[in-house]
Amino acid sequence: MSESNSPCPLYRSLLFVPANNTRALDKAQSLPADNIAIDLEDAVAADQKDSLRDALPDLIASRQFGHGSLWVRINAVDTPAGHADLRAVARLPVDGIILPKVENAEDVHRTGVLLGDAKRMITMVETPLGVINAAACCAAHPQVAAVMLGAQDLTAALTLPASNGDRSGLQYALQATLLAARAAGVAALDSVSADFRNLDALSAECAEALRFGYDGKAAIHPAQLDPIHATFSVSDAELAAARAVVACFDEATERGQSVAKLDGRMIEALHARRASAVIARAELERKVQ
């Protein structure tokens, strides 16, 4: 698994649920997603945005969305709908907002100021300029908690051919988004996999994102949650290995040594810190199972 800067909260999964899909919203209450995002942007037609925004307070008050964090994906902050979304969501009992198509740090900072310190933000990298400015956007306000790659829009903007599972054209964007997250000390989420019936392709994307160092992946269908959690959760073997590293290093420290040896490997403080983070992450995951 990847090393997170903090074991809490969990960002293994983020499930988008359309604000206009009552059945999906009802079902989301019992789903094990770490994060639920009520979507006011892509999933909602232009002529529905105002009425659904007005309905958000009742929609949220009438439901309990499980153990995870609750977010609202608003419309782009440089649009009238986005401005209205932000004002409405700032007053609602949600954990934060998801900002689509983020391209500059000034927009992120202004949004954070308007949102207030009680709510967090997830910024989305969906355009070429968003990729270029990802690091500045992640660091633009202390309430930024995570950054998510939006591969669908970015693929279109880059005029990449149909991928059929090949994301080689997005390799730079994947790396740049991850580097921006780590430099700012926030979580990194991989894009949704649009073909929600193809769980093999989803698992392959999850494995790729894990190799890059991502913390989790977004989803658009409940069936995608199990493969995502299977990839981004700490396995029993990983947990046992982490505990062995910490125990070995602690024993060496008690002897006045700054370096330990375990199964032929040198163990330093950085390895112990990473192992401790894995243990904390595993403990949190097991609490929500």
Domain boundaries, the chain: 13-232, 236-288
pLDDT band at 1 (very low <50, low <70, confident <90, very high): very low
In degrees, to the nearest 5, what angle opens at C-alpha 204 toward C-alphas 126 and 192? 30
CA distance 33 to 224: 10
Is residue 159 over pLDDT 60? yes
**pLDDT at residue number 8:** 53
Cα dihedral 269, 10, 225, 179, rounded to 10, equals: -60
What amino acid is encoded at 178 in this protein?
L
- Between these two residues, 233 and 2, which has the higher pLDDT value? 233
Q: Which of these CATH numbers, 3.10.130.10, 1.10.40.30, 3.20.20.60, 3.90.1280.10, describes 13-232?
A: 3.20.20.60
User: pLDDT by residue (tens digit) across 160-206?
Assistant: 987 677 899 999 999 999 999 999 999 999 999 988 889 999 999 99
Residue 5 above 50 pLDDT? no
Tell whether the model's pLDDT for residue 51 goes beyond 50: yes
The helix (H) or strand (E) run that includes residue 241 is helix 236-254
At residue 227 the predicted structure's pLDDT band, cuts being 50, 70 and 90, is: very high
Kindly report the number of other CB atoms within 10 A of residue 242's CB atom: 23
Q: Phi first, then psi: what are they for 174, rounded to 5°?
A: -60, -45
With CA atoms as reference, report the closest residue to 116 among 86, 84, 140.
86
Total length of the chain:
289
What are residue 260's phi and psi, to 5 degrees? Answer: -125, 170
Rounded Cα distance, 275 and 176, in Å? 25
Distance CA 43, CA 26 (A): 16
Residue 217 has pLDDT above 70, yes or no: yes
Does the pLDDT of residue 38 top 80, yes or no? yes
CB contact set of 80 (below 8 Å; sequence gap of 6+): none
Residue type, 133: N
Whole-number average pLDDT of the chain: 93
Residue 146 CA to residue 140 CA, distance in Å, equals: 12
Q: What is the pTM of this model?
A: 0.92
